[in-house]
Chains A and B, each alone.
Chain A
């Protein structure tokens, strides 16, 4: 009821608003007119003030300069007259000077139309000795200075007037609102109350006898409705504040979470990147330790209960299991999880998706591997992530939670793949390094074998022709450098074809092996070389050996071979013929010459009846006697 009445009143008040506005406009116009009149009047006063000031200034100037000018005019001294006029024209506020003498001479400085100029001042100059004027001086004041002065004085007044009049108008308006508009409102209400239909509804005796009482009634009614509104607004406001506080708290929590997550994530990533760098630097045998440490850090940081990393066995690495458990539990000794033995469930799921969750252990078969793992480690939940590298599955990571209520958060599920990625890389890196090491070892072995094969005779296991040639060249150079004698003996098995024919190639080979073994015994010093340089032809290269030692040595070889007890078919022992040569460092002798020399000695030995030694002492000198 009260609300209805108040809206009616406000509608009635609105009808009377134009009156207040009209009053405002009238006030504004009166104020503006008043202000305009004031300013114009002030400008007029200021103008007369300034112009009279200018006149005073000009007359003072004339009083100052007049006597000197008059005296100069009296003396008819043009120099002084011009000087005085220049001085006058240079004074501030004077833009023109005109001087006219009775004889018609006219002196001008600056502006000259003093007759038309409002701000000019003319005076007749009279000398004290005479009653006649000696000249008429006109000074022309600066009109622009007058106007600028006028502006500078009127403008502040103008602004002050605007402020003053606006202030008065504001006060008047305020008073109007306080007095007139309120009265009008009261009048409106009374008019409304006095309407015929209203009168009928209202009981005959009016609630208030006087106009003031009516007003009071209205006021009370309005007041109660206002109070009701205020109370309602208050309640709404409190509700709003509560709601706002709640949402603010929620937001704060959310913001804190997000901030924490971000910090946490960045810290973790930092750690991972550091780890990754570290693993590359680790020696091979510590990769396992690094992997365990990563698992432990991940578990501690993310708050998991257990982490199990299973690395499948392959041709290089055996199966390995890395475990981190919060409470330090160990796996059973018979825990086996190879590539072929991955739990069927896990394998099935990991083939189809990258991450496999096992939420409830109870759902699993009691016999399956995952269930056993959970039971062993006292876990309620499990998630499996594969270690993939180059589309090859290297292993699997199980992350377990003890509490069934704990969930894997989204953040954790973003971090875990990174951990898995790191671990995969570490494993792959480790595996590749192992493979590389193996390959390297194999290569080294093969290389050694090849080197042996290249320098050794396959049958007799002493140096072959190639190694002999190298050795010969080397030792000849060394002999030349150190000025030592080098002995070369070439041996040929006598009648070896017959031996072969008699006993077969197998026996022949055995004989050759035995002879080679004897020769190898004689080539015992460093630098000595015993070599098989042909089918049944051998060579002995002995540095630091002169002809005397050489002869006895060759003799010992011959006897040692006879002592082998190898017999021809006719019962004669198997013997060798030897041809030797000494090289004393002559540079013109090539290895081929040296060999030829020994060969020639060998031929001589052969021709001499075999089973003997023949040594050529000097390459070109007289040949040595046959032993």
Chain B
């Protein structure tokens, strides 16, 4: 995100809420009141705290982009679509979580049916470790898994468990589930942390040679190294490019290229599968040095008027990522962006 801002000549400010999501409205109000008024805001609906932030932006008349997590359907019922009730909420940008769920699910299940392990009744037993029941990201990832399941009729999804994105809870839950499903063959996880918890529980029970396949989503150094050594069977990563993409959208919006033609709720595919072969590439390219070598301005409609559709850009694939070598640890940030100056509020540093 910072790299993209640099490329586009925007000034970015990030405000950290010190892990207290309830302080975010207060901090945003202070930032608006004290400093120079930002031109744009980027807000993330983490823990469903976006509506008060949007309300503050609306009062301050600052155009705001919602990134990473869109509003939940219940919140949408109240606030309406972008630019309807809230005139300054110009839109939301999310990644294609369903695709991530589908990619990891398909890889995991393909590996499962190729393995020799067969269930008692000739069916493979699968568990899904989802994040939570409310956020769209979690729901969409699970939907992606279910899309993949359609292609594998001999795999039975025994239960969906909600691990609250947490490693500790997933560890605990897995211990119980292993008692409940002794013939378990695979576990699909909604993020990397829960996958680590599942793995630690499995290894504690059966040792390292447990023979149960585990998949994960999200980019982290640990996850990529686990893909390399085979402890993780499948991993999808790359949605951190969303921060950079939000810069691009705001840049274009500021230069009169409104993305509304493509819809106000934009979903761009950014996840790509990481496997043992390209893992090293990921590790090397998704570094600060790698990011700095990439020019985000090439995705801007304002700079490249030939571009019609953002999603048609090659940057959404892993290959592109590899080739251009960009990365940014900007996921989970919620921010306000500003033309020329960019402001981001983070609840935590990851």
The answer to the question of B161 belonging to the interface, with a C-beta cut-off of 8 Å to chain A, is: yes
Residues of A within 8 A of B169 (CB): 78
Residues of B within 8 A of A132 (CB): 180
Q: Say which residue of A77, A101, A134 sits within 8 Å of B162 (CB atoms).
A: A77
User: How far, in angstroms, from A105 to B179 measured CA to CA in the complex?
Assistant: 12
Given known A76-B172, A78-B169, A103-B175, contact A130–B180 (CB-CB < 8 A): yes
Residues of B within 8 A of A76 (CB): 161, 172-173, 176-177
The answer to the question of B159 belonging to the interface, with a C-beta cut-off of 8 Å to chain A, is: yes
Query: Could you give 23 example pairs across A and B, Cβ below 8 Å?
Result: A74-B159, A75-B161, A75-B162, A76-B161, A76-B172, A76-B173, A76-B176, A76-B177, A77-B162, A78-B169, A78-B172, A101-B176, A102-B176, A102-B179, A102-B180, A103-B175, A103-B176, A103-B179, A105-B176, A129-B159, A130-B180, A132-B180, A134-B180
Q: Per-residue 0/1 for A110-136: is the Cβ within 8 Å of any B Cβ (1 yes, 0 no)?
A: 000000000000000000011010100
Residues of B within 8 A of A103 (CB): 175-176, 179
CB distance from A103 to the nearest CB of B (A): 5
Q: Per-residue 0/1 for A63-74: is the Cβ within 8 Å of any B Cβ (1 yes, 0 no)?
A: 000000000001
Apart from A103-B176, A103-B179: 14 A-B pairs, beta carbons within 8 A = A75-B162, A76-B161, A76-B176, A77-B162, A78-B169, A101-B176, A102-B176, A102-B179, A102-B180, A103-B175, A105-B176, A129-B159, A130-B180, A134-B180
Residues of A within 8 A of B180 (CB): 102, 130, 132, 134
User: How far, in angstroms, from A132 to B177 measured CA to CA in the complex?
Assistant: 12
Q: Per-residue 0/1 for A86-108: is the Cβ within 8 Å of any B Cβ (1 yes, 0 no)?
A: 00000000000000011101000
Q: Per-residue 0/1 for B170-189: is the Cβ within 8 Å of any A Cβ (1 yes, 0 no)?
A: 00110111011000000000
* Interface residues, chain A, with chain B CB atoms under 8 Å away: 74-78, 101-103, 105, 129-130, 132, 134
In the A-B complex, the 8 residue pairs with the closest CB atoms: A76-B173, A103-B176, A103-B179, A76-B176, A102-B179, A76-B161, A103-B175, A75-B161
User: How far, in angstroms, from A75 to B130 measured CA to CA in the complex?
Assistant: 11
Residues of A within 8 A of B177 (CB): 76
Q: How large is the interface on B (under 10, 10 to 19, 20 to 34, 35 or more residues)?
A: 10 to 19
- B174 and chain A: residue at smallest CB distance: A76
- B162 and chain A: residue at smallest CB distance: A75
- B175 and chain A: residue at smallest CB distance: A103
Residues of B within 8 A of A74 (CB): 159
Residues of A within 8 A of B173 (CB): 76
CB distance from B226 to the nearest CB of A (A): 23
Residues of B within 8 A of A129 (CB): 159
CB distance from A554 to the nearest CB of B (A): 130
- A129 and chain B: residue at smallest CB distance: B159
Residues of A within 8 A of B172 (CB): 76, 78
User: How far, in angstroms, from A102 to B179 measured CA to CA in the complex?
Assistant: 8
CB distance from B95 to the nearest CB of A (A): 27
User: How far, in angstroms, from A129 to B159 measured CA to CA in the complex?
Assistant: 9
Query: In this complex, which of B162, B176, B177 has the most chain A Cβ atoms within 10 angstroms of its Cβ?
Result: B176
Q: Per-residue 0/1 for B195-223: is the Cβ within 8 Å of any A Cβ (1 yes, 0 no)?
A: 00000000000000000000000000000
User: How far, in angstroms, from A290 to B64 measured CA to CA in the complex?
Assistant: 122
CB distance from A452 to the nearest CB of B (A): 121
User: How far, in angstroms, from A74 to B162 measured CA to CA in the complex?
Assistant: 11
Residues of A within 8 A of B159 (CB): 74, 129
CB distance from B184 to the nearest CB of A (A): 14
CB distance from B172 to the nearest CB of A (A): 7
Residues of A within 8 A of B179 (CB): 102-103
CB distance from A144 to the nearest CB of B (A): 36
User: How far, in angstroms, from A77 to B169 measured CA to CA in the complex?
Assistant: 8
User: How far, in angstroms, from A275 to B159 measured CA to CA in the complex?
Assistant: 123
- A104 and chain B: residue at smallest CB distance: B179
User: How far, in angstroms, from A101 to B180 measured CA to CA in the complex?
Assistant: 11
CB distance from B121 to the nearest CB of A (A): 15
- B170 and chain A: residue at smallest CB distance: A76
User: How far, in angstroms, from A130 to B177 measured CA to CA in the complex?
Assistant: 12
- A132 and chain B: residue at smallest CB distance: B180
CB distance from B183 to the nearest CB of A (A): 13
User: How far, in angstroms, from A76 to B129 measured CA to CA in the complex?
Assistant: 11
User: How far, in angstroms, from A77 to B170 measured CA to CA in the complex?
Assistant: 10
CB distance from A487 to the nearest CB of B (A): 121
User: How far, in angstroms, from A57 to B161 measured CA to CA in the complex?
Assistant: 33
Residues of A within 8 A of B162 (CB): 75, 77
CB distance from B30 to the nearest CB of A (A): 32
Q: Per-residue 0/1 for B14-43: is the Cβ within 8 Å of any A Cβ (1 yes, 0 no)?
A: 000000000000000000000000000000
User: How far, in angstroms, from A303 to B262 measured CA to CA in the complex?
Assistant: 138
Residues of A within 8 A of B176 (CB): 76, 101-103, 105
Residues of B within 8 A of A102 (CB): 176, 179-180
User: How far, in angstroms, from A77 to B164 measured CA to CA in the complex?
Assistant: 9
CB distance from A622 to the nearest CB of B (A): 124
Q: Per-residue 0/1 for B142-177: is the Cβ within 8 Å of any A Cβ (1 yes, 0 no)?
A: 000000000000000001011000000100110111
- A102 and chain B: residue at smallest CB distance: B179
Residues of B within 8 A of A105 (CB): 176
User: How far, in angstroms, from A470 to B179 measured CA to CA in the complex?
Assistant: 149
User: How far, in angstroms, from A406 to B137 measured CA to CA in the complex?
Assistant: 134
CB distance from A247 to the nearest CB of B (A): 101
CB distance from B128 to the nearest CB of A (A): 12
Query: In this complex, which of B159, B172, B177, B180 has the most chain A Cβ atoms within 10 angstroms of its Cβ?
Result: B180
Residues of B within 8 A of A101 (CB): 176
User: How far, in angstroms, from A101 to B172 measured CA to CA in the complex?
Assistant: 13
User: How far, in angstroms, from A103 to B161 measured CA to CA in the complex?
Assistant: 17
Query: In this complex, which of A74, A75, A76 has the most chain B Cβ atoms within 10 angstroms of its Cβ?
Result: A76
- B178 and chain A: residue at smallest CB distance: A103
Residues of B within 8 A of A130 (CB): 180
Q: Per-residue 0/1 for B77-103: is the Cβ within 8 Å of any A Cβ (1 yes, 0 no)?
A: 000000000000000000000000000
User: How far, in angstroms, from A134 to B179 measured CA to CA in the complex?
Assistant: 10
User: How far, in angstroms, from A447 to B139 measured CA to CA in the complex?
Assistant: 140
CB distance from B97 to the nearest CB of A (A): 21
CB distance from A184 to the nearest CB of B (A): 87
User: How far, in angstroms, from A75 to B163 measured CA to CA in the complex?
Assistant: 9
- B180 and chain A: residue at smallest CB distance: A132
User: How far, in angstroms, from A102 to B176 measured CA to CA in the complex?
Assistant: 8
CB distance from B133 to the nearest CB of A (A): 9
CB distance from B138 to the nearest CB of A (A): 14
Residues of B within 8 A of A78 (CB): 169, 172
- A73 and chain B: residue at smallest CB distance: B176
User: How far, in angstroms, from A103 to B171 measured CA to CA in the complex?
Assistant: 13
Query: In this complex, which of A103, A129, A132 has the most chain B Cβ atoms within 10 angstroms of its Cβ?
Result: A103
Residues of A within 8 A of B175 (CB): 103
Residues of B within 8 A of A134 (CB): 180
User: How far, in angstroms, from A191 to B287 measured CA to CA in the complex?
Assistant: 133
CB distance from A106 to the nearest CB of B (A): 13
Residues of B within 8 A of A75 (CB): 161-162
User: How far, in angstroms, from A130 to B180 measured CA to CA in the complex?
Assistant: 9
CB distance from A614 to the nearest CB of B (A): 131
- B173 and chain A: residue at smallest CB distance: A76
